[in-house]
Each structure stands twice: as C-alpha cells, then as structure tokens.
Structure 1
Amino acid sequence: MNKTIHRAETRGHANHGWLDTHHTFSFAGYYDPRRVHFGALRVLNDDTVAPGEGFGTHPHDNMEIVSIALEGALRHGDSMGNMQVLRPGEIQVMSAGTGITHSEMNASATEPVKFLQIWVLTDAQGHTPRYNQLELAPARRNELRTIVAPEGRGDEHVGWIHQDAWFSTLDLDKDHTVEYRMKTPGHGAYVFVIEGNVKLADEELGPRDGVGITDTDGFLIKGDTDARVLIIEVPMR
C-alpha cells in the first residue's frame, strides 16, 4: 500500500469575502506541481459562500462535476434550463461534455452555504452535456453508502458519471472499524475526512485531512471519534 497525506492546513486557501475556499488540488490561484490531481480526481474544493452571494455564470467542458451540500442551500442554474436548489442529503452531478454554462448562488439571504465541489476527468471528450440532482438514500451508521457510480451501476439514489469512478460516504461511530474494498483492481481511493477523527493506514486524520491510497485491494477506516468521511475511488491512469 502507498499513501499520500494532505493535511487540512496545507491546502490552498483564498478568502474573497463572499467566498472562503480551500483547494486540496491545484486550482485557480493555487498551484502546487505535486498536487495537480490524484489519478482521475482533478479538483476537491471545500467552499463556503456568504448569504446572497455566489458564482456568476461561467463555462465548463469535458469534465464530470459533483457537488455535495454540507450546510445551507445552493441555487444552480444552467444553459440547459435547469434551475434547482441543492440542500444537504442531495447531490448534483453534471457532465460538462461539449460545453455548458452555469451559476451557483447561495439561496439564502441570511445563512452561508457550505459545499464540496469535485471534478473528475471524463472518460472521453465530447459527451452530450447533462445535469442531474437527486436525493441520496438515508445514511446508515457504520455502513458505506454509494452516492456516485459509473453509468448503469447505481440505483435511483446514486448519481452517475462518464468515468469508472465511485463516491461513497461513511458515517462512523467511535471505535468502529469499516473495510473499504476497491471496486476495480488498480484503482486508487482518496479519503477526505468531513468531520471527526479517524485512523487509516496507521495515520491519524482529522477534519478536512485527506489521504490518497494506492496499490492495495482495500483498507480499514477506524473512528477515533464519531466521524464522517468521503471516499472517491478513481482510475489512476
């Protein structure tokens, strides 16, 4: 097993007033040649947007984009005519494909919105743009929950993308251990701690720490406290 640790405080950071953002991988004004991507995982942004503010209309192409709401409400609008509000317990999945424009605004005038935005490299150029928002299946303590899968590999509570990639969440009790098994041989997994403290591969990880795991068929995650983690399994080549 090989592992790459990214501590929370080593992430790229920018506070624009309306946006407080942390970048696990190189993004915008943050660049680290050692942290451009982890396999097909290209972006993992941890964003807090002030009330009434947000990202105006901007373009994307040839990227699979997943947004996970942590707190508050995020209003999405795009060039395909979609207009929806994302809240905790839901995800957005967007294939930018040949090109799409969209905006992301805090839907509240009084409360901040906190969300993770994740980009995964697509499996091929030129897909037809698509957007989907869905309600996740209820999380069960100490059980892995798949939230994103390759096309045709999930159910109505699982988003799909144009890539052999899997997203899972895990709500873990203190002193409980859960094993994650790779879906595809040769894949790697990036584990991001959303809340709490866990032990993984002999490393103690705290809130917003991340670790990339490769060259293994699986690994154990133990809760040092009650914790919530996100696991992103991706091709490494």
Structure 2
Amino acid sequence: MITTRSASACGLADFGWLQARYSFSFGHYFDPKLMGYASLRVLNQEVLAPGAAFQPRTYPQVDVLNIVLQGEAEYRDSEGNHITVREGEALLLSTQQGVSYSEINASKDRPLTRMQLWLAACPERESPRMQKIVLPAGQSTHLLASPDGVEGSLQLRQQVWIHQIELAPGEQHQLPLHGPRAYLQSIHGSLSASTGADHQEKLSCGDGAFLQEEHQIRLEATTPTRALVIDIPV
C-alpha cells in the first residue's frame, strides 16, 4: 500500500531567518496522527538565511542526518568537536545525552538549504559521533546510511537503510525493501511510484509517501528527480 502526503499538507514555518517544511510534528506544528513513522521521527526541509544559526540544543536519543542541498554549514558540539559540511555532502550526528549541538550557515551571502532526518537510536549501539560523506554525482542510486556502514555509507544506530535516488526523465529504478514499512520523499522533481502493476502514485517536488507491507518499489522520473527512500523495517 502507498499513501501519499503532499507538500502542501505539511507543516510550514517562516521566521525570517528560517523557512521550513515539516513532514511530521515538529516545533509549533503538531498533528497527533503524524508523530513520525516507526523509527523515523523527523523529516524537515529547512532554509537558513545567510549567517543564521541554531543555538546549542540537546536532542533525544536519535541519529540526526543532515543532507546539504545548497550552501555550507558548520556544526559544533559541547565536547569541542567541529565539522563543516558543504553542498553535495551529508553529515550524521550520533547525538549523546548531556551533549549540546549547534548549527550555523557559514556563508554571509548565501542561504543554507538542507534536509534533516531524526531516527530513533538503539541505546546499546555505538557509532562515531560525527560522520560525513560526499554524495557521488551522476549515480542513479546511492546507499546513504545503513546499520553497518556498508558500501561507505553512514552508520546508523538503528535497522534503517536510506537510499538517495537520482533519475533523468524517463529513467526507472527498482529497489527491494527489507520490511513492512518505508517512506519515500521527493526532494525535487516529479515521479511515479509503484509497488505492482495495479497501484501507482504520482509525486511532485516535496511530496512524500508512506509504504506498508511492500517488498519493493519502482520509481520512474517524469522530470529530473532526486528522492530519498527510507527503508524502516522496525
């Protein structure tokens, strides 16, 4: 089963220094029916004005994945760790209790645009505190994060696989799924998603889709498309 969630139905914020779209309840946006999806707790697309910053804050026990779409971000924690992440790169923060984290748009003249995901972390698992990878250009599918860090992916503290899909118009890709739940997020472009011959959904820029009890998903782009498939078996 595929159930779409249009970008227009998501929560919105505009604070001047920050513009955001929230797929699930976050901040001032609250919907008791949308508190996350399995271990996927947060999925935001946010734009920070030049020089804008999130002040130091703590997190619940989650892995925080930031995918920089435009600009350059600096991340610091209260233990003295520091890292810069640029367009075309992704950062995973394995957040810790009692540690605060800050984020700043490092540019004084360009906005910072990024996707941010929070995934519930298993308390018995350990991963590096800050992990960064460069996303390959011109590759139709790339394993962005996984439980074991295979294929050079970021290592999560949860049984979740996150794939980035980039397709040209008319190009197709079929992806097997590990378990009963997955979430599809269009970052930009228009595409169709199907799990069989009898069920197809169309998504546009910013749309998402819940997948339940499916073993695979087939994507076909109608325009240049970039999307995430978040495979969440538990």
**Number of the residue aligned with 1:233:** 231
| 2:170 matched residue in structure 1 | 175
Partners of 1:144 and 1:198 lie apart in 2 by 15
The partner residue of 1:192 within 178, 185, 194 is 185
Q: 1:97, 1:129 within 8 Å by CA — same for their partners in 2?
A: no
Corresponding residue pairs, total: 229
Contact 1:62 / 1:127 at 8 angstroms: preserved in 2?
Answer: no
Q: SS at 1:100's partner residue?
A: coil
Structure 2 distance, partners of 1:62, 1:31, is 20
Say if 1:115 and 1:50 are closer, same or farther in 2 by CA, change over 3 A.
same
**Aligned CA distance change for structure 1 residues 166 and 126 (closer, same or farther; 3 Å):** closer
What residue in structure 1 maps to residue 150 of structure 2? 154
* Correspondence for 2:67: 68
TM-score (norm 1): 0.91
Amino acid in structure 1 at the alignment position of 2:164: T
Confirm or deny: 8 A CA contact 1:62 1:125 kept in the other structure.
no
Report the Cα offset of residue 98 of structure 1.
2.8
Q: Aligned to 1:212, which of 207, 210, 213? A: 210
When residues 30 and 57 of structure 1 are mapped into structure 2, their CA distance, relative to the original with a 3 A threshold, is same
The residue type paired with residue 38 of structure 1 is Y
Query: Where does residue 46 of structure 2 map in the other structure?
Result: 47
Where in structure 2 are there 5+ consecutive unaligned residues?
Answer: 195-199
Once the two structures are TM-superposed, the CA of residue 129 in structure 1 deviates from its matched residue by 7.6
> For each residue in 1:138-171, what CA deviation from the matched residue of structure 2 results, as whole angstroms up to 9, or x when unmatched?
1334x32001111x3414x311110011111111
- Amino acid across the alignment from 1:146: L
- Deviation track 1:173-192 (CA, whole Å, cap 9, x = no partner) reads 1111110101x2x2422111
Whole-Å Cα distance in 2 between the matches of residues 80 and 70 of structure 1? 27
Equivalent AA in structure 1 for residue 44 of structure 2: N
**Per-residue deviation, 1:80:** 2.5
Gaps of 5+ in 1: none
Does structure 1 retain, via aligned residues, the 8 Å contact 2:41–2:119? yes
- Identity of aligned pairs, percent? 28
- Going from structure 1 to structure 2, the CA distance change for 1:222 and 1:129 (only over 3 Å counts) comes to closer
| Counterpart-to-counterpart distance in 2, 1:14 and 1:125 | 35
Contact 1:190 1:212 in 2 (8 A): yes
Distance 1:99 1:69 in 2: 26
Task: Name the stretch that deviates more: 215-224 or 116-125.
Answer: 116-125
Does the 8 A contact of 2:182 with 2:230 survive in 1?
yes
Determine the structure 2 residue equivalent to 1:15.
Answer: 14
Distance 1:181 1:55 in 2: 37
